Amino acid sequence: MVGKVRISPSILAADMAHIAAELHRLEEGGADMVHVDVMDGHFVPNISFGSKFVHDMAAITSLPLDIHLMVSDPYRWIPEFYDLKPYSLLFHLEATPLPVRLLQDIRAHGILCGLAINPSTPWQHLESIAPILDMVLVMTVEPGFYGQSYLPWAGSKIEAIDKNIRPRNQNLIISVDGGVNEKNAPHLAQTGADILVAGGSVFKGESYKDNIDRLRNT
């Protein structure tokens, strides 16, 4: 682990009709960034929101944007977000056999570049490309929806990536996404996760701050 675990609440689980208030609650609650799930209804069986909505969000929040694209054509959609100077731009390894040019292009824009891998994708598929990655996003549910149950066998890839890939890229940031809650958060942080993405376990109850603190203080 590079430092203390950071929390990236997934806005997909927010009340979209009150997005300004929801972002404000995350800011007050001490979120480190906000995770933004862009879905095209093709790579995953759901549609969330697109560039316009993300630009409107960016205009009203000071939180860094952690953008996760679940789209079949990342070359088409990634450049839509360059002007926002997000914290990170992540797309799926499964979406293209040619990720290198796009990763390099994201980095050239001064943005952290990363690849997400689905639960069924072996961590070894990241090995050869590790030197040019700033981040990896390990999916611990099949992407498409918030509120699904954590898949422990997918979470075990965190430790393998920490042990086998991090030594070859000391600055690599490992993020985990899907079913993260206060029960599995300690284990995920201990085995090497730097960022915990969390939807359902943040956007519930009275206090998002308490929920975020519970996840962070693992």
Instruction: Point out which residues bind ligand DX5 (CB under 6 A).
Output: 10, 12-13, 35, 37, 68, 141, 143-148, 177-180, 197-201
Residue in 66, 162, 177, 194 annotated catalytic: 177
- 37 or 134: CB nearest Zn ion: 37
Residue nearest to ligand DX5 according to CB distances in the complex: 199
Instruction: With CA atoms as reference, report the closest residue to 141 among 204, 198, 194, 212.
Output: 198
Active site residue 177: yes
Q: Encode 2-38: b = buried (16+ Cβ within 10 Å), e = exposed.
A: eeebbbbbbbbbbeeeebeebbebbeebebbbbbbbb
Q: Which of ligand DX5, Zn ion, none does residue 88 bind to, with CB < 5 to 8 Å depending on kind?
A: none
Q: Encode 118-155: b = buried (16+ Cβ within 10 Å), e = exposed.
A: bbebebeebeebbeebbbbbbbbbebbbbeeebbeebb
Residue in 37, 40, 66, 162 annotated catalytic: 37
- 164 or 214: CB nearest ligand DX5: 214
Q: Which amino acid is at 212?
A: I
Q: Which of Zn ion, ligand DX5, none does residue 195 bind to, with CB < 5 to 8 Å depending on kind?
A: none
Residues with a known catalytic role: 37, 177
Residues that bind Zn ion (CB under 5 A): 37, 68, 177
